[in-house]
Amino acid sequence: STSEFVTIIVGKSVITSSSLVPLKRVVVSSTNLKIKQVRTSFRLENPLKSKSKMAGVETYKLGDWKLQSGQEIQDAHIAYKTFGDPASPAVIYPSWFSGSIADNEWLVGEEHTLSPKKYFIIITALFGNGQSTSPSNSNIKPFPKVTFYDNVRAQHTLVTKHLGIKHARAVTGWSMGAGQAYQWATQYSDFIDIAVPFCGSAKTSLHNQVFLEGVKSALLAARKNASAGSCEDGILSAGEKYRTWTAEEKEVGLKAFGRVYAGWGFSQAFYREKLYESVLGFKDLEDFMKNFWESWALSKGTSNSQPS
C-alpha cells in the first residue's frame, strides 16, 4: 500500500504536482486519486537561517569514483544526514538542484509523514552541491559531467556498504530529487518498495534546460564568461585558466542568479496577487527580490570557495 505516503502530497506540505510509483507496476498519481486542489498554509524560512541545521552532516569516502562517461572523480565523497532509528524502515531523500541537505529538512519531523519515529530517513547530497564532492571543495578542474545514474549509484553504495541497509521502504524527492527517485525506481527497483517523486520528472525537459541556461549564464556573466551551450560549462577567455571566483564575482553572480530564478520559482498568479506581501510578509516586490531571492542565492556561496 502507498497510502502512508499520500500525505506527503496532500497533507500539511504545499506540493502542487506529484506521482507515486509503486514498484509492482501499479501507478498511482494525483489524477487517479482525484485530488483537485490543495490549499494549505506555507511558511518559508529565511534561507540564511538554514545553516544552523548543518549539524549532523557526515561524509562517506567513495574512493576514485568511476562515472558513466568513463571519467572519474578522484577521492570522491558523498555527504548525508540521517534521522531516526537505523532499525526502522529506510527512506532515501536526495537533494535537489542548488539544494543543500538542510534545504530538505522542512519535510522531516515527528509532525510530518517523514517522521523519525517511524522511518530511518537518509538525506543525500548531489555531487556538485557543495557538500558532496564539488568544484568548490575539490581541485578537479574542469569538473566532469555527472549523471543521475552516477549519483544514485553513489547513494546505493552509501546506504548498503556504509549504513548496512538491505532494503528501503521508499525513495522520495522534489524537483531534481524527484529525478533521482525515478532513477532509483529503474536502477535499483528491487531495493525499494515505492518511489515517491514530487514536482519533478524523469528527464529534464527542453523548457527546463532553457531555464537552467538562464541562471547559469547569469552566473558566468559575472566573471565575463559565456555559456558553452545547454548541459555544458562556460567558455573560458583566450588564455584563461580555471580559477577561484573573487568575492565580487560571487556576490554579483549569485544575486543575478537569484533574480533570474525568481521568475521561475513562483507562478504568475503568485506575483499578480502579491502573495509575497500577503502570505510571506515582504513589504513590496523589491523587498522580496532582495531579501528572499538574493539572500537565498547568496547563501549558496558563503560556505564554499566558489559557486558549485
pLDDT confidence of residue 191? 97
156 CB-contact burial (10 Å; exposed 0-12 / middle 13-18 / buried 19+): middle
Query: If you count DSSP H runs as helices and E runs as strands, how many of each does the chain have, helices first?
Result: 9, 10
Q: What's the CATH number for 3-198?
A: 3.40.50.1820
Domain chopping of the chain, boundaries? 3-198, 206-298
Could you report the per-residue pLDDT of 172-200, keeping only the tens digit for each? 999 999 999 999 999 999 999 999 999 99
Could you report the per-residue pLDDT of 106-157, keeping only the tens digit for each? 999 999 999 999 999 999 999 999 999 998 898 888 889 999 999 999 999 9
Q: Do residues 127 and 73 make contact, with C-beta atoms less than 8 angstroms apart?
A: yes
Residues 219, 253: Cα–Cα separation, whole Å? 4
Residues 227, 213: Cα–Cα separation, whole Å? 8
Quote the pTM value. 0.80
DSSP code per residue over 38-86: ------PPPGGGGGGGGTT-EEEEEEEEE-TTS-EEEEEEEEEEEES-T
